Homo-oligomer: A and B are copies of this chain.
Amino acid sequence: MPPSALKKNNHSVVDIKKKQYIGDILSEVYSSGPLTISQLAKTLHTSVPSITGLINELMSENWILEVGSSKTKSGRRPSLFDLNPNKNTTIVLDINLYNTTIVLINLRNEILKTDILDLEIGDAEFPEKLSAGLFNFLEKSLKPWAVGISVSGLVGGTDGVNYTYDNHNKNGVSLANFIQQQIKVPTFMLHDTKASMIGEHHFGLAKDKKNVLLINLNWGVGLGILSNGEIIQGADGFAGELGHIQVNPNGELCNCGKIGCLETVASASALIKKAKKELKAGKISSLSKMNGDISLEQIIDAAIKGDEFSIDLIFDIGRELGKGLSIAIHLFNPQIIIIDGIMTNAGDLIISTLQQAINKYCLKDFKKNIEILISPIGEKAKIYGVKSYVFHKMLQKQSI
């Protein structure tokens, strides 16, 4: 067998099948940690000698390491194989409203370096500034394997045209393509809540689950959908836009241009807006002394400490979100629902209200076995999710 078989770019049937097997092995080892040869042979429906051969190739290419042996009741102990964490590194760019986090991460999901750029999402020079910040972060020596970008809004396909933040598309070139042109490394883009859903699926609460909803309760509200074990993307990649379904025909104007979107009543923005309005109108609260200058953290803090005004505000958010969520439950019939985002700091205050709304608005068979949980890995899910997405996209590429 020639030493460069892994990189041969032939289209014969055996090469296609081999590439497939190699991708499957790496993918399996990536998500299910160190594995033995016979475990791999079983899950991939092939023989032990075949897997042995492929593993040897992958070891000689430094993709895989032998990492000891596993314990068994009796008999010879099998060797365990795992990804070489230092085979390569991936850059994750997590774009938020007011800043972008840059993360350098290895194959074992260990974060090697991280930095935050102060960069507003609406900045007219967004791509250039992001690219500059990234170059600065990388210094000149380091060359990552791939780049993954997470962002909110309507993100279309893998080339990542963002239809919400048009300033991210430079003369018809999407942000992902722009970054790729700049740093000459394959770059992929993904909607942030979908990224979190992938992260939870591979490494979080949704592991081994097949039908899951993830609510990202932040300044807006996003929905990530796992159905039959797969991320739902939709025809253009826009699926999961729960935030802009109409819940109140006589409601407020949303920044999307429609009236009474769920986001206008169930989001951190809505919470702060309502708090300020009601305090100004004279409602009594421990927050009254702040003179109208209040933050989300302060409201949640006050609520946890028992401030009735703040508790009511959070209840209102939960109830409205619960109504919208109930619709999604009827359409997707999930087994668990994961809550994520800054509003989760309110903990059980928000969970219990959601649970109540679901009880009220869902048919009984839908809510029978449903669990609502706050993600313990939180923000990390998004990073891992982007990483996972990029990893699988890279495996799909012809040559690795």
A residues engaging B (CB < 8 A)?
A: 13, 16-17, 45-47, 154, 163, 210-211, 223, 225, 227-228, 230, 232-242, 244-246, 256, 258, 323, 326-328, 330-335, 361, 363, 365-366, 369
Copies of this polypeptide in the complex: 2
B46 & A242 in contact (Cβ 8 Å cutoff): no
Which residues from chain B contact A334 at a C-beta distance below 8 Å? 234-235
B13 & A45 in contact (Cβ 8 Å cutoff): yes
Name the distance in Å between A290's Cβ and chain B's nearest Cβ: 34
Q: Given contacts A13-B47, A227-B239, A235-B210, is CB(A258)–CB(B333) below 8 Å? A: no
Report how far A180 CA is from B237 CA in the complex, Å: 42
Complex partner residue of A333 from B13, B236, B245, B335, CB under 8 angstroms: B236
User: Of all chain B residues, which has the CB nearest A12?
Assistant: B47
Which residues from chain B contact A330 at a C-beta distance below 8 Å? 241-242, 244-245
Interface contacts beyond A154-B363, A154-B365: sample of 9 additional A-B pairs, CB < 8 Å, sorted by A: A13-B46, A227-B232, A235-B334, A236-B369, A238-B366, A239-B331, A244-B363, A246-B361, A327-B327
Name the distance in Å between A10's Cβ and chain B's nearest Cβ: 13
Report how far A134 CA is from B237 CA in the complex, Å: 46
Which residues from chain B contact A366 at a C-beta distance below 8 Å? 238, 241
A235 & B223 in contact (Cβ 8 Å cutoff): no
User: Of all chain B residues, which has the CB nearest A246?
Assistant: B361
A331 & B361 in contact (Cβ 8 Å cutoff): no
Which residues from chain B contact A326 at a C-beta distance below 8 Å? 245-246
Q: Given contacts A17-B45, A46-B13, A258-B361, is CB(A327)–CB(B235) below 8 Å? A: no
B363 & A246 in contact (Cβ 8 Å cutoff): no
B227 & A327 in contact (Cβ 8 Å cutoff): no
Report how far A369 CA is from B323 CA in the complex, Å: 29
Name the distance in Å between A203's Cβ and chain B's nearest Cβ: 21
Which residues from chain B contact A256 at a C-beta distance below 8 Å? 363
Complex partner residue of A235 from B236, B240, B258, B335, CB under 8 angstroms: B335
